[in-house]
Amino acid sequence: MNLYRSYIKHLKPDKTFKDQLLLKLFEWTPAYKVKEWNALSFDGVHGFDACMIMVPFLPEMREIKHKQIITKIEQALEIASKEGC
């Protein structure tokens, strides 16, 4: 939660949000594609295409229903499928 709070603070430095609101926003946020790379290489020789898919879920979200978690994961899998993964 601290990392997410610092990110929100970066976006809105003059605002303060309650933890309950931040958790709700995370709960409502669907899976989404964050970044796409072409010819990404870890060794400088072999390249591959990749994308990062975010599935918004925090350990603090203990009260979220399992169905909602499964739905977010299914959304991420659908995005990955569309990307050719």
pLDDT digits (tens, 9 = 90+) for 12-50: 888 887 878 877 887 888 898 988 888 888 998 999 888
Cα-to-chain-centroid distance, residue 49: 19
Mean pLDDT of the chain: 83
pTM of the complete model: 0.64
pLDDT of residue 78: 95
Q: How big is the chain, counted in residues?
A: 85
Question: How open is the CA angle 4-71-25, to the nearest 5 degrees?
Answer: 30
Contact 76, 53 (CB under 8 A): yes
pLDDT of residue 75: 93
Contact 81, 44 (CB under 8 A): no
Phi and psi at residue 48, to the nearest 5°: -150, 155
Of residues 54, 51, 43, 50, the one with CA closest to residue 7:
54
